């Protein structure tokens, strides 16, 4: 797997937020673990964050853009409704023979996309798949709503997948959804149900809305069950795992899950303090940080587990090559 990431230069700290809304650094740190997050420049859209991440991933994998067969972009903040962000990236990178599409599974999008890529490779339909997660949540947040705007940040991560020997790479994948909880985390406006109008904007329906407490409870529940399901599908036990890379939404969620799974926190990657919740991009950003910190070596079993709007959740176990 070639891995690449990109985060915008601008850092927004909790102290900065204190100047904008009624919040404080101590509350944000203790309730979420977040210290700062990155904010895209006005001219940067999702594809602009994705491209530098993808360039690094391709270089590390030793794959030329023209060799890529498929580009999947996990995002809830695409450049525009259509054409897809994946098509913009396909063009800008010069992936001349690649098919390209966006995948919508909110914060679970990267793990969903890995699973889709795995199928294309397993069937021999694709030799190389470029999976990207890129998010610019700063554009869809209500910066007056302290319950949401303190949580999210912008960033992108990319990986290049190709065939590996049996028993290596993606060992198991579990995708799940429960649309009954769709209203808990949503961006209701701007689609075909509520097209953009001045009235819609006045009501703030073009912003992210979230029932935080309910999402918290859901997250703790499905992170545990999803992890156990991925282990079962892989024929592994918890002790076989070398590292868990969870969706970086809230360090308290991660601590609850560690406790429920009886899994040591030292073997769980956490970098929510640096980037906040970057939705689909959070797992590849954490994966890249784990690699930089030397926390992953060939042969390690890594569980990646995500949850998010939909509601969706997804878990995959990768034997690192």
Could you check whether the bond before residue 247 is cis, i.e. omega within 30 degrees of 0? Answer: no
Q: Please choose, from the candidates 4, 11, 28, the residue with its C-alpha nearest in 3D space to the C-alpha of residue 250.
A: 28
For residue 186, with 0-12 CB atoms within 10 Å meaning exposed, 13-18 middle and 19 or more buried, which class applies? middle
Q: How far apart are CA 241 and CA 165, in angstroms?
A: 20
- Rank residues 23 and 209 by Cβ distance to ligand UT7 and give the closer one: 23
CB of 150 vs ligand UT7, minimal distance in Å: 4
The pair of three-digit structure tokens given for residue 129, joined into one six-digit string:
């798949």
Q: Is 320 in the site for ligand UT7 (CB under 6 A)?
A: no
**Interface pick for ligand UT7 out of 5, 14, 32, 77 (rule CB under 6 A):** 32
CA atoms within 13 A on the CB side of 153: 31
Q: Is 250 in the site for ligand UT7 (CB under 6 A)?
A: yes
Which segment (109-117, 169-177, 208-216, 293-301) binds ligand UT7 by CB under 6 A?
Answer: 208-216
Q: Is 272 in the site for ligand UT7 (CB under 6 A)?
A: no
The residue nearest ligand UT7 at its CB is 212
Alpha-carbon 216 to chain mean position: 17
Could you check whether the bond before residue 83 is cis, i.e. omega within 30 degrees of 0? Answer: yes
Which segment (27-35, 47-55, 86-94, 235-243) binds ligand UT7 by CB under 6 A?
Answer: 27-35
DSSP state of 68: -
Q: How far apart are CA 270 and CA 277, in angstroms?
A: 11
Q: Which residues does 60 contact at the CB level (< 8 Å), separation at least 6?
A: 2, 3, 4, 160
CB of 83 vs ligand UT7, minimal distance in Å: 26
Secondary structure element (H or E) that encloses residue 42, with its range:
none
**Interface pick for ligand UT7 out of 91, 97, 213, 292 (rule CB under 6 A):** 213
Q: Is 45 in the site for ligand UT7 (CB under 6 A)?
A: no
- Rank residues 109 and 169 by Cβ distance to ligand UT7 and give the closer one: 109
**Interface pick for ligand UT7 out of 186, 212, 233, 236 (rule CB under 6 A):** 212
Which segment (113-121, 127-135, 144-152, 196-204) binds ligand UT7 by CB under 6 A?
Answer: 144-152
Q: Is 101 in the site for ligand UT7 (CB under 6 A)?
A: no
For residue 268, the cross-strand partners are 244
- Rank residues 71 and 215 by Cβ distance to ligand UT7 and give the closer one: 215
* Contact yes or no for 298/318 (Cβ under 8 A): no
CB of 148 vs ligand UT7, minimal distance in Å: 7
Distances (CA, A) of 245 to 30, 33, 257, 273, 295: 21, 16, 12, 14, 11
**Interface pick for ligand UT7 out of 27, 60, 177, 238 (rule CB under 6 A):** 27
- Rank residues 61 and 219 by Cβ distance to ligand UT7 and give the closer one: 219
Q: Is 295 in the site for ligand UT7 (CB under 6 A)?
A: no
Question: What is 112-144 written as a DSSP string?
Answer: HHHHHHHHHHHTTS-SEEEEEEEEEGGGGS-TT
**Interface pick for ligand UT7 out of 18, 147, 255, 300 (rule CB under 6 A):** 147
Which residues 171-190 are close enough to bind ligand UT7 by CB under 6 A? 185
Catalytic residues: 107, 247, 277
Q: Is 276 in the site for ligand UT7 (CB under 6 A)?
A: no
Alpha-carbon 46 to chain mean position: 13
> Which residues contribute to the site for ligand UT7 (CB under 6 A)?
23, 27, 31-32, 107, 146-147, 150, 185, 210, 212-213, 215-216, 219, 249-250, 277, 308
């Amino acid at each position: 797997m070639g891995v690449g990431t990109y985060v915008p230069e601008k850092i927004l700290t909790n102290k900065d937020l204190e100047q904008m809304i009624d919040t404080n650094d101590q509350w944000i740190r203790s309730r979420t673990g977040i210290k700062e997050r990155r904010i895209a420049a006005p001219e940067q859209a999702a594809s602009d964050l994705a491209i530098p991440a993808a360039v690094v991933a391709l270089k590390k994998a030793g794959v030329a853009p023209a060799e890529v067969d498929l580009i999947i972009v996990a995002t809830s903040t695409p450049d525009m409704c259509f054409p897809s962000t994946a098509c913009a990236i396909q063009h800008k990178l010069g992936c001349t023979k690649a098919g390209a599409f966006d995948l919508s599974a909110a914060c679970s999008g990267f793990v969903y996309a890995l699973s889709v890529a795995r199928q294309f490779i397993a069937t021999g339909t694709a030799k190389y798949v470029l999976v990207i997660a890129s998010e610019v949540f700063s554009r869809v947040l209500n910066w007056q709503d302290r319950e949401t705007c303190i949580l999210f940040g912008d960033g992108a991560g990319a990986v290049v997948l190709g065939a590996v020997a049996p028993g290596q790479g993606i060992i198991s994948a579990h995708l799940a959804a429960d649309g009954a909880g769709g209203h808990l985390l949503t961006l209701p406006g701007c689609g075909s149900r509520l097209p953009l109008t001045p009235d819609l904007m006045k009501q703030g329906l073009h912003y992210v809305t979230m029932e935080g407490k309910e999402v918290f409870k859901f997250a703790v529940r499905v992170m545990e069950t999803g992890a156990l399901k991925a282990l079962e599908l892989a024929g592994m036990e918890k002790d076989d795992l070398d590292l868990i890379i969870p969706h970086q939404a809230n360090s308290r969620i991660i601590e609850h899950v560690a406790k429920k799974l009886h899994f040591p926190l030292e073997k769980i990657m956490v970098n929510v303090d640096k980037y906040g919740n970057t939705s689909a991009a959070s797992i590849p950003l954490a994966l890249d940080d784990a690699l930089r910190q030397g926390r992953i070596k060939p042969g390690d079993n890594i569980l990646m587990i995500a949850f998010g709007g939909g509601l969706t959740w997804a878990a995959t176990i990768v034997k690192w090559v």
